[in-house]
Structure 1
Amino acid sequence: MAGVGNKKSIVFGVLGVLLVGVGTLLVFLVPVIMDEQVEKNVRIDPSSGFAYEMWRDLPVPFYMSIYIFEVVNHKEVLLGEKPQLQERGPYVYREYKKKQNITFNENGTVSFVEFRTFHFDPEKSNGKEEDHVIVPNILVLGSSVMLQDLGIAIKWIISGAFSAFNEEAFINKTVKDILWGYEDPFLDFLNTFLPGKLPFKGKFGFFSDFNNSNTGVFTVNTGMEDISRVQMVDNWNGLKKVDFWNSEQTNMINGTAGQMWPPFRKPSEPLEFYSPDACRSMKLVYEKEEKFRGIPTFRYTAPNYLFANGSDYPPNEGFCPCVASGVQNVSACRFNAPLFLSFPHFYNADPGFLESVEGLHPTEELHSLFLDMHPLTGIPMNCSIKMQLNMLTKSVSGIMQTGQIKPVILPVLWFAESGHLDGPVYNTYYNILILMPIVLEYLQYVLIGIGLCFITVALVLPFVKQGKCFLFWNSNKNVDESQEFKTQKEKLTAPNGIVLLEARL
């Protein structure tokens, strides 16, 4: 019997040691396995299957929500009164993005152009594309500011042309025309009279060059040689830097193309990306930890100095000529058209901008931008990027259409570009990023726990006394009783001769 007990102890001991060993090994291997899986899934590699297909043809639904500011007192504005604005919308468009002309280069980079198209979504919108809205006429007000330094005779000619083509300071157009463009004979006249002076050609609309277009040729690192460089821009349209601005720092093309970032993020590392629409690199900073539908994320927001002027934030001096902080002059990359970027409703901007108009109500909840990123992979889970387009309006001597308009940075519209992981894409990432690590983490501790139990049994087993189980009952039958059986029977027989029932190990 002792030999059998020893064999059991050895079996339990060996199993216990193996389980503890495997569990302990997993404690060290799981992070390595996860890191390898992350690197495999974030590299731009055609052989990676799902990850590459998602990068090439982003299946995440993106929406562009556009809010237009109607000038409800446009006649009074021409007489010098403060503009009163009424926000209209949102007019929501489903945005589709797809990379084309993908070319892998020998230096570990890949070049591509990303085409984007927009389709109106009436169910998500508060209004129709056929809605009429009164907005500033950039062809008049913008051109007047751009041509204000010309001789008075030229400006009289321009003013006469405005009258001949029935162009006024404010126009009443449909939302569709305002956003996506409309034919204007005066635009053809201006481009003939002043070739190369205006940024508008063909149809005029605030987003006329957005639909069925691309943002240029991006060349980014694939991460095959250095995972910390994946998605980082190598050049844009063949350029290592742009020449719109007045300093080397502001002309730099930094970060990624704005869709993904290198993995293994730390809170101290900002998110940088180059925006062709804003003609500059932008930076988001870590704010706090969040969760998106069970997936842990870092929330990034725009720093207060993003649109600060050079006086409040010296590195931004290169973007000047500047106005007060909170609004950036982008005329340098818009053919000197007097256009400005800010956050919606002048959120986080100098109070003077808000006081110069009526009808704006900035709040952090509605008008601040954010991006929630899974720090392990560098993949955004949820984001809403918000910007406002403004223009300088003022009275220009010699152009009677500008009346007595006081100089003001006038909000024209703002938009929110939003998207989040959903459907099969979300399920795939949740299984890979959440469930798999949890299963592996629990598995390692379960194996260690079971192994320790087996080892404990192996240590205790040799010291447990082995006995037999006897069952006695009163019977008239004659049985062949062994000596051991008789001894046990005597112990279990009461003085009155009654046999007791007992089981003993």
Structure 2
Amino acid sequence: MEKEWKEKVEVEDHEDTDTITYKKLDTFYFKKELSGPGLTGEEILVIPHIFLMTVVGVVHRDKPAMLNMMGKAFNGILDNPKDIFMRVKALDILFRGVVINCARTEFAPKAVCTALKKEAAGQLIFLPNNQYMFSIFGMRNGTADSHVVTVERGMKNVMDVGKVVEVDGKPKMELFRDSCNEYQGTDGTIFPPFLTESDRLQTFSGDLCRSFKAWYQRKSSYRGIKTNRYITNIGDYANDPELQCYCDSLETCPPKGLMDLSKCIGAPMYVSLPHFLDCDPKLLEGVKGLNPDVSEHEIAIDFEPITGTPLVAKQRVQFNIRLIKTDKMELCKDLPDTIAPLFWVEEGIQLNKTFVNMLKHQLFIPKRVVGVIRWLLVACGTLGALGCLVYHFRDSIMHLAVSSESPSVTKVNPEGVEENNISVIEQARGPTKVDI
């Protein structure tokens, strides 16, 4: 298993436009202890030959008449392959590289190598003696991306924080049609705060040249913090009006769940969810051994809604290639003309205990304290208001308590004594004289 460390480098603030520009730097580390039991990265994989099928796909699309020559070229630069599958060590195809022998003097291999050096300089490593090295992530590892990304800082409007404004100084792409060329959403590392269940989060992926819209799925939690879970998928280009502008026409749209990367990376490859999850069922019919599982293969992010902080995220995508059947090449005449999976990757974040505790102590505990104090103040204010009312109307309250409308007092006489026998001593009008 590889651990990926993402970093923003060459960061510059632009206060006049409230934006930041940066480049992306990805570094991969092989973690043997995180791999399967006994796996070292030196295991031999048998997969469709990525380089061979990529070149065949480009030539078949742009110059099909040259397919005959391509067969001769592959015999030279790939040392007479017996089929379209490559048998290669995992670390070689991922990072170290697979040799393409361009030290050939025959016309066909030399012509192909000349074209590769011109058209694929960013994907190949050139060694002495005309030896080229091809790998999936080798050119990205530890190297800053050449593209300069401009995003909003959110100082003037916090709801715009992280929003992609430009790439390489251009306010939109020039690959597709209409709105599909726009940079919609953030760069995926930060999101606006105060998320609600009705919000659809948008992110722009530079690696895939398109924006994705995630929608609210359900309530969730992480390490005692309440979160909202959002999910997304590749979509159905032919039947979703918002995605149809990625296709030249409805007839050229890929099957449901597939995204054509031809215009993005220049190679006829397709992206889907792993194991063709949420894809056209016909794609599963062409491949054995796939078992799509929502819990293992979906794209899901758990957000803390107040700050918009992603606490847990799982971004999973599968790269596929078309096995083109053509009689013009001996290697491809018996292929099933289907979409074959190559590999799938999972990029994710999981906030560790340190950052979770920081979030709790700096946001949630103060928030709870403020909540308790608020209700205490409300209670004290209510009691104070009642006390003031009672004091202000105390005379009226006392008058009501002893009013004539209260029950009358009953006069009680001693039993057996006549009323007229009771004498009343009048008050003496003067002092009484006492003789001693």
TM-score by length of 2: 0.78
- Equivalent of residue 87 in structure 2, options 151, 154, 172: 172
Measured in 1, the distance between the counterparts of 2:257 and 2:246 equals 13
Q: Distance in 1 between matches of 2:323 and 2:51?
A: 12
Return the alpha-carbon distance in structure 2 between the equivalents of residues 185 and 124 of structure 1.
31
Q: Which amino acid aligns with 1:201?
A: L
Q: Is 1:146 the counterpart of 2:77 in the alignment?
A: no
> Residue 417 of structure 2 corresponds to which residue in structure 1?
none
Distance 1:377 1:322 in 2: 38
2:24 corresponding residue in structure 1:
114
Cα distance in 1 for partners of 2:259, 2:385 equals 69
Specify the alignment match of 1:424 in structure 2: 354
SS of residue matched to 1:250: helix
Flag the 1:438–1:315 CA change in 2: closer, same or farther, 3 A.
same
Instruction: Look up the equivalent residue of 2:260 and give its one-letter code.
Output: N
The structure-2 alpha-carbon separation of the partners of 1:447 and 1:354, relative to structure 1 and needing over 3 Å to count, comes to: same
2: CA distance, partners of 1:265 / 1:339 = 35
Cα distance per residue 1:34-91 (max 9 Å; x no partner): xxxxxxxxxxxxxxxxxxxxxxxxxxxxxxxxxxxxxxxxxxxxxxxxxxxxxxxxxx
Kept in 1, the 8 Å contact 2:223–2:356? The answer is no
Distance in 2 of aligned mates of 1:99 and 1:301: 25
- 1:226 to partner: Cα distance: 1.3
2:68 to 156, 162, 173: 156
Counterpart of 1:217 in structure 2 is 148
Q: CA deviation at 1:98?
A: 2.1
- Which one of the candidate residues 14, 34, 45 is aligned to 1:133? 45
**How far apart are residue 271 of structure 1 and its match?**
1.0
* Paired position in structure 2 for 1:237: 168
Q: Gaps spanning 5+ residues in structure 1: where?
A: 1-91, 463-505
Look up the equivalent residue of 1:170 and give its one-letter code: F
Cα deviations by residue, 1:300-339 (Å, 9 ceiling, x for unpaired): 1015xx33122x112222222322111111111122x220
Determine if the alignment matches structure 1 residue 192 to structure 2 residue 119.
no
Contact 2:100 2:134 in 1 (8 A): no
Which residue is equivalent to 2:2? 93
Percent of residue pairs identical: 26
Tell me how far 1:454 sits from its aligned partner: 7.8
Amino acid in the other structure paired with 2:344 = W
8 Å CA contact retained: 1:144, 1:399 = no
* Conservation of the 8 A alpha-carbon contact between 1:145 and 1:396: no
2:235 is equivalent to residue 307 of structure 1: yes
Separation in structure 2 between the aligned mates of residue 283 and residue 187 of structure 1, nearest angstrom: 44
Q: 1:331-342 residue pairs with structure 2 within 5 A?
A: 331-335=262-266, 337-342=267-272
Alignment check: 8 A CA contact 1:233 1:257 kept = yes
Structure-2 residue corresponding to 1:316: 243
TM value normalised by structure 1: 0.68
Q: Name the structure 1 match of 2:107.
A: none
Q: Distance in 2 between matches of 1:407 and 1:209?
A: 30
CA distance in 2, matches of 1:453, 1:218: 57
* Number of residue pairs aligned between Structure 1 and Structure 2: 365
Distance 2:152 2:75 in 1: 53
- Rounded to whole Å, the distance in 2 between the matches of 1:319 and 1:299 is 27
SS of equivalent residue, structure 1 residue 118: strand
Deviation of the 1:355 alpha carbon: 0.7
Shift of 1:181: 4.3
Any conservation in 1 of the 2:123–2:139 contact (CA below 8 Å)?
no
Q: Distance in 2 between matches of 1:342 and 1:151?
A: 27
Report which of the two structures shows the higher radius of gyration computed on alpha carbons.
2
